[in-house]
Structure 1
Amino acid sequence: MGCAGSTQSQGDGSVKKIRKPKPWKHTQPITKAELMKLREEFWDTAPHYGGRKEIWDALRAAAEADISLAQAIVDSAGVIVQNTDLTVCYDERGAKYELPKYVLSEPTNFVEEN
């Protein structure tokens, strides 16, 4: 039985399936190295935004995996997916986890490194 508003009990029993984020453009052209630096900085500081470290670790693993593996990771970690592109998620205790698009996919305006 669960609450009528819970993820598992939405009438048909469906759970939100994750998908790749829509194409996006960084504010300025960015190199692969710059993108990787942004990602590392985010993941290094993410636990300081609140929530549980093990959920942050699961979200990082999901962000770096292909879609089918990412789905298995979030399902097994008990992550409640608000936005199907993983930009907004919750844990079972209700803590909110927001992921920037740059950790989930690559921008359309990459430039070659010199």
Structure 2
Amino acid sequence: MGCAGSRPKGDDSSKKIRKPKPWKHPEAITRTQLMKMREEFWDTAPHYGGRQEIWDALHAAAEADLTLAQAIVDSAGVIVQRADLTICYDERGAKYELPKYVLSEPTNLIDEN
């Protein structure tokens, strides 16, 4: 028995999330191209398995500031393996992998002009 606020050792379900480390796309891309890549990912992600409500929560978290993102993943029961949200699990053990381009902008983002 422990106090009401204790958790078992190894319980990473409440891991504090953070922004991904800076990254570079293989080719310089525009914001429009980045947005298209993100849209395509979110449209197809549920087809790779997992539950739609977890994909929806991860989508909302990816577009939110860190405080709100933390609240979203915590309330959805998402188990965060990597603090940058690139690898997560749901309570049933399904794996969700998010590419960095849906979580942050590359260092080589170029102007549309």
Q: Same fold (TM over 0.5)?
A: yes
- Residue correspondence of structure 1 range 1-114 to structure 2 within 5 A: 8-10=7-9, 15-114=14-113
Question: What is the CA–CA distance in structure 2 between the aligned matches of 1:11 and 1:19, rounded to whole Å?
Answer: 19
In the superposition, the TM-score normalised over structure 2's length comes to 0.90
Question: What is the CA–CA distance in structure 2 between the aligned matches of 1:12 and 1:56, rounded to whole Å?
Answer: 22
Alpha-carbon offset, residue 13 of structure 1 = 8.6
* Greater RCO, 1 or 2 (C-alpha within 8 Å, sep 6+): 2
Aligned length: 108
Report SS of the residue matched to 2:110: coil
Question: What is the CA–CA distance in structure 2 between the aligned matches of 1:28 and 1:83, rounded to whole Å?
Answer: 26
Percent of residue pairs identical: 80
- The ranges of structure 1 where at least 4 consecutive aligned residues each deviate by more than 4 angstroms after the TM superposition are 11-14
- Go from structure 1 to structure 2 and tell me whether the alpha carbon gap of 1:12 and 1:91 turns closer, same or farther (over 3 Å shift): closer
**What does the per-residue CA deviation read over 1:66-109, in whole Å, with 9 as the maximum and x for residues that have no partner?**
00000000000000000000000000000000000000000000
Provide the aligned C-alpha RMSD in A: 1.8
- Go from structure 1 to structure 2 and tell me whether the alpha carbon gap of 1:56 and 1:11 turns closer, same or farther (over 3 Å shift): closer
